[in-house]
Amino acid sequence: MSTSEAIIPAHRLSFGKHGPKIYKALVHLENTIDLDPALFELVKLRASVINGCSYCVDLHTRTMIDAGEDPRRIASVAAWRHAAFFTARERAALTLTDAMTRLGDEGVTHQMWEQVSGHFTPDELANLIGAIIAINSWNRLAVTLETIPDDIRDALT
């Protein structure tokens, strides 16, 4: 698709301007999370893929590339269960990310919790849960507002 054929959504709302207290609370939530940065980005990318948040997929992919992450690992986040690139600890985090993002009728099962919790201390688990909550909030905001990165918007206009 050429840039002249691209669909550029209209800017719906500046949430920072019209919901500043909520926006600042989301920023504060994310800034309070104490998690290994590489694992945090992996979780953010996975939830963003599940939620179809193109803005966040772009953002976290670029962040991971800038941090020196292997592009094959980044691409494999979409199919992590079948990829050999992830450690047992990362797989546990991705398992919880999938379960909390999709939630469904079963939520996070006892069996799943036992599997995941064996890889993290209670404090790490709390921060991992906070990270998943935070990115899901950002995804829902960006998808609802049809947010696209400024550099892409500028290139397409």
Instruction: Give the tokens for residue 119.
Output: 């890889």
pLDDT number for residue 147: 81
Question: How many Å apart are CA 90 and CA 80, to the nearest integer?
Answer: 10
pLDDT given for residue 155 in this prediction:
55
pLDDT at 152: 57
Rounded to 5°, the CA angle 23-29-133 comes to 100
Instruction: Give every residue of the chain whose pLDDT is below 70, as ranges.
Output: 1-12, 149-157
User: pTM of the prediction?
Assistant: 0.88
Angle, CA of 151, 153 and 71, to the nearest 5°: 50
**Domain 18-148 grouped into CATH 3.40.50.300:** no
- pLDDT value at residue 1: 46
Query: SS3 sequence, the chain?
Result: CCCCCCCCCCCCCCHHHHCHHHHHHHHHHHHHCCCCHHHHHHHHHHHHHHHCCHHHHHHHHHHHHHCCCCHHHHHHHHHHHHCCCCCHHHHHHHHHHHHHHHCCCCCCCHHHHHHHHCCCCHHHHHHHHHHHHHHHHHHHHHHHCCCCCHHHHHHHC
Q: Residue 66 half-sphere exposure, CB side, CA atoms within 13 Å?
A: 8
Determine the 3-state secondary structure of 13 from DSSP: coil
Residue from 47, 66, 24 nearest 128 by CA: 47
